[in-house]
Amino acid sequence: MENPVIIFGAKGLGKVALDIFKNNDVIVYCLLDDDPKLVGTEIGDVLVAAPTDSEEHLKMIGDHCEAFVATDDNRERKALVKLLTEKRKKMPVNAIHRTAKVEESASLGHGNLVAAHALVGSFAKVGSHCIVNAGAVVDYEAQLADFVQVGQGSLVGPGATVGEGTFIGAGCTLVAGVKVGKNARIGAGSVVIANVPDGTTVFGVPAKKVE
Q: How far is CA 178 from CA 76, 81, 96, 137, 165, in A?
A: 29, 29, 26, 15, 17
**CB contact at 8 A, 22 and 45:** no
pLDDT tier for residue 24 given thresholds of 50, 70 and 90: very high
Question: At a CB cut-off of 8 Å and minimum separation 6, what does 12 contact?
Answer: 72
pLDDT at 43: 95
**CB contact at 8 A, 116 and 95:** no
pLDDT at 2: 82
> What are the start and end residues of each CATH 2.160.10.10 domain in the chain?
94-206
Question: At a CB cut-off of 8 Å and minimum separation 6, what does 101 contact?
Answer: 118, 119, 120
**Prediction pTM value:** 0.95
Tens of pLDDT along 178-194?
A: 999 999 999 999 999 99
Considering only the top CATH level, what class is 94-206? mainly beta
Q: Rounded to an integer, what distance in angstroms lies between the CA atom of residue 77 and that of residue 92? A: 11
H helices of 102-208, in order, are: none
Cα dihedral 165, 170, 171, 176, rounded to 10, equals: 10
Cα dihedral 125, 72, 150, 202, rounded to 10, equals: -120
Tens of pLDDT along 62-107?
A: 989 999 999 999 999 999 999 999 999 999 999 999 999 999 999 9
Does residue 5 surpass a pLDDT of 80?
yes
Tens of pLDDT along 125-182?
A: 999 999 999 999 999 999 999 999 999 999 999 999 999 999 999 999 999 999 999 9
pLDDT at 11: 96
> What are the start and end residues of each CATH 3.40.50.20 domain in the chain?
5-93
5-93: CATH topology: Rossmann fold (3.40.50)
| DSSP annotation of 62 | B
